[in-house]
Amino acid sequence: MKRGLPPSIVAAIDRSSILGIRAGSRSGHRFTGVWPIVVDGRVFVRSWTLKAGGWYRTLAEEPSATIQVGSRRVRVTAARATGERLLDAIERAYDEKYPTPGARKFVRGFRAKRRRAATIEFIAPRAGTRKR
């Protein structure tokens, strides 16, 4: 069973159009803006570029990250999202949340097979792994 994020954090992410993510535990990564989606109380993001050294590839090697929504920073663990119904629901959520003409190119692009396969869910870190 996945460890969900606190409801107040999920609600803030759902209201936000941009979520900051700093991938990995190394301080060399900066916060990068990504488009978050909430489906059934769970937080998901998709990578656009999938480039080496980017946040997605970093999380593939080391799944710890910090997300920033507003002024709040929260430690999370990245988990790969799978399942056709879930991935379809995420695509519908992107359609609904980002309906502007400027966003349409990216929403359509998120349906590409390689980007669909790069869907990440943010979950709470295991107990005892949080930095203080």
Tell which CATH architecture fits domain 7-120. Answer: Roll (2.30)
Mean pLDDT of the 70-85 span: 94
Query: Is the whole model's pTM more than 0.95, yes or no?
Result: no
CB atoms near residue 42 (< 10 Å): 19
Task: Please state, in angstroms and as integers, the Cα–Cα distance from residue 118 to each residue in 12, 44, 67, 70, 80, following that order.
Answer: 23, 10, 18, 25, 7
Which of 106, 55, 111 has its CA nearest to residue 87? 111
Residue-wise pLDDT for 5-28, tens only, equals: 999 999 999 999 999 999 987 656
